[in-house]
Chain A
């Protein structure tokens, strides 16, 4: 592997205890998202309490990984040197079919082709030995 690709220079998450199962699920390539057992709602980002009903009875549920783009933007400005080669790139809010909404990148098509309402499916990107990111591509 070329030296410049051996080091992953983009920001990595700090893994807080309440989000550990989420990041572990991505590493295992089986995304899990919290579902409130009291109101049945799936939600994101992770929390120890449901943001709707404040119940603490939560389960980490596997999700299928299908969803729709809720909103889509294209980053042109380079905020950090690590992104210099990557612009322009898409960032989307994706609604999982189960209900939770994630911040993510839609990859596999030019950013200009990503539209609100577009169907997408999950792809895992192992960016370091410890961290896997959840990205999406247009559904086939």
Chain B
């Protein structure tokens, strides 16, 4: 029943505009300022003004939280939405925003939804009086044992994947090398120096079995996209990126209660999205996969059906996820090498690929028609999937 209802939304909504700010270290820029820049850019891209926006989805910035964040952003952006809220799915939030936007429009609450996220994680120390971090609810049982941070939480996933399937650090390195290659072709990326597997192997352990080059960047910046009806999107400035499939899953509350650490929310979430779209993994021309850590990509590619469970380590080797490979993944360089805006730029990059001719030619997937985007958050406890296409009936 749920799938049936979702299927009725297939192709009815589209991303009509995208915006990105400068990325990297932007000292002195508040998160709110970055939100506004990203929104302004998305409006200009779509050929809309702030007066055309009647829906707003935000993601409370972890390093600069404020009460009722959506209302703060609405006020600052001069919009008075009839639908506005903060979403809190961690790194899955930007992908989930597209789903919530489609739902809100479908329910008649609004017609044009601005989805925006920005952060100033890299330069937060330059902005005084900011809160440290939000509780995750289990820290009293972790921090006394020295368990701190997302890297350690994901190192547990890598530990299990290596134990169960023999995945190696070199295989994780192939993910880092591939995305760096893509970043080198992306003018907006933070990292432009190519790396090799040897560089990866020589990078220091942060939390073993994860090395420095297994970990995402720490970035300032923002991005935004605008969701509206397919009909309206066709009248606007850009080629629409139609939403064909979407899914979401929260598989567990924490590692202590998880039945497995090697299959995450992406399995059920992607299945929902494939079912809604009437498509399968082989139909995807590219994938933008949330890459907070290299292991996240290996697990998600398996969960998404691009390779059997346990074979993700081999699946990312030998250029298979690079431009020109079987499935180009993270054509922008990802969180590992472009910038870490918690997945917002995975959505905007997918839209760019589908418009065609927007990005540098060497990182444009030739003839890209359909792509899948993953969002992953809360140390593997949230997941969202989105299938986009430049054709309504892909």
Name A's B-contacting residues (CB within 8 A). Answer: 10-16, 19, 43-45, 51, 70-77, 79-80, 83, 86, 88-89, 91, 93, 100-105, 111, 115-117, 127, 131, 133, 135
Contact = CB atoms under 8 A, between A and B. Distances in A.
Contacts of B141: 13, 19, 44-45, 102-103
A19 B142 CA distance: 14
- The dominant DSSP class at the A interface is loop
B368 interface: no
Contact of B146 (A14, A44, A86): A86
A51 B253 contact: yes
Contacts of B146: 10-11, 75, 79, 83, 86, 89, 91, 105
The interface size bin for chain B is 20 to 34
Nearest to B147: A91
Contacts of B156: 71, 73, 93
A116 B163 contact: yes
B149 interface: yes
**Which of A11, A103, A111 has most chain B Cβ within 10 Å?**
A103
B341 interface: no
5 contacts: A10-B146, A45-B141, A77-B151, A103-B145, A116-B159
A41 B171 CA distance: 37
A73 B209 contact: yes
Interface of B: 138, 140-149, 151-152, 155-160, 163, 204-209, 253-257, 261
Contacts of B151: 77
B208 A10 contact: no
B147 A103 contact: yes
A13 B146 CA distance: 11
Contact of A131 (B144, B152, B261): B144
B207 A73 contact: yes
A71 B156 CA distance: 6
Given A73-B159, A133-B145, A93 B256 contact: yes
A116 B157 CA distance: 12
B39 to A, nearest CB: 34
A74 B163 contact: no
Nearest to B162: A116
B48 to A, nearest CB: 44
B257 A76 contact: no
A71 B153 CA distance: 11
Contacts of B157: 71
A76 B208 contact: yes
Contacts of B257: 43, 51, 101
Given A51-B257, A75-B208, A91-B147, 20 more contacts: A10-B144, A14-B140, A15-B140, A44-B141, A44-B256, A45-B138, A51-B253, A71-B159, A73-B208, A74-B205, A74-B207, A75-B147, A86-B146, A91-B152, A93-B156, A93-B256, A104-B145, A105-B145, A115-B163, A135-B145
B159 A13 contact: no
B332 to A, nearest CB: 27
A116 B160 contact: yes
Nearest to A112: B208
A71 B261 contact: yes
Contact of A117 (B144, B158, B163): B163
Given A71-B261, A76-B204, A116-B159, A45 B144 contact: no
